[in-house]
Each structure stands twice: as structure tokens, then as C-alpha cells.
Amino acid sequence: MAASPGSSQTRRTTRSTASKADEDSSFSYFEKTVSLYDWWLIRADEDFQGKRLAVAGVSSKEQRPMRVFRSAPIAKVLDVFTLVTSDGIAVILQGLMNKTRTLENGFPLEVYRVSFIVSFN
């Protein structure tokens, strides 16, 4: 699921093309990203290659209007703080998982005790 307007950020990336005809040219594109300051695990409404594990969270800091983001299923993990969802959004996790909300969503306590990233590798 895509972020609501204003809740996602874009990260500009430039890549060099490696074709013989145009070795010196480059192009840029914007990658959709969202940072979650308070986040928890959820089950996505639809699966992606049999996976339904997703994240939700607050994408604004305290004392600002609150926006809750719900991701599509997690497709891959880039590092301990960065996930990529099946719809191509990079999710940057800020801080620890919200234990209470994760448990409220039906996940066992073991998920909180053991890093959930292990299940992707």
C-alpha cells in the first residue's frame, strides 16, 4: 500500500549508464521512501509471493500532525533499519519496534524477543 500524500519522502539517486555509445551520460530518478518513528508489525491485506508480513507506523515526529503508514508486504531487507516493500517503497525504521502494538496485531512475544529480520534471511 502506498503512503498517503505528504507522508513519503523521495531520495534522489544518480546512476551512470554503461553503454558504449553514451558512456559519459547519466540519469537520475527518485526513490519513494518513508521514515517510521514509531513502528510495529502488521499482516498485509494481500500477500506477495506468499508473504504478508508488513510494517505500520507513525511517519511524523511528536508535536506534528500524526500520519500512520501501512506498508505492502516486505519484499527484502537491505539492512537492520531499511526494508523494501513489494510496491517498491523503502521503509526506514527509526527506533525500536513498538512491542504493545505488535502484540495487539496477533504476533507472539517471540517475534519481539528475536529480531524479526532473521525470518527474511
Residue 59 domain-assigned? Answer: yes
* Domain that residue 21 falls in: 9-120
Q: How many domains does the chain have?
A: 1
Q: What is the pLDDT of residues 36-54, one digit of tens each?
A: 999 999 999 998 999 999 9
Give me 9's grid cell.
519522502
pTM above 0.75, yes or no: no
Residue 2 domain-assigned? Answer: no
Q: How far apart, in Å, are the Cα atoms of 21 and each of 17, 26, 27, 28? A: 10, 12, 15, 18
Q: What is the pLDDT of residues 42-96, one digit of tens each?
A: 999 998 999 999 999 998 877 777 888 999 999 999 998 999 999 999 999 998 8
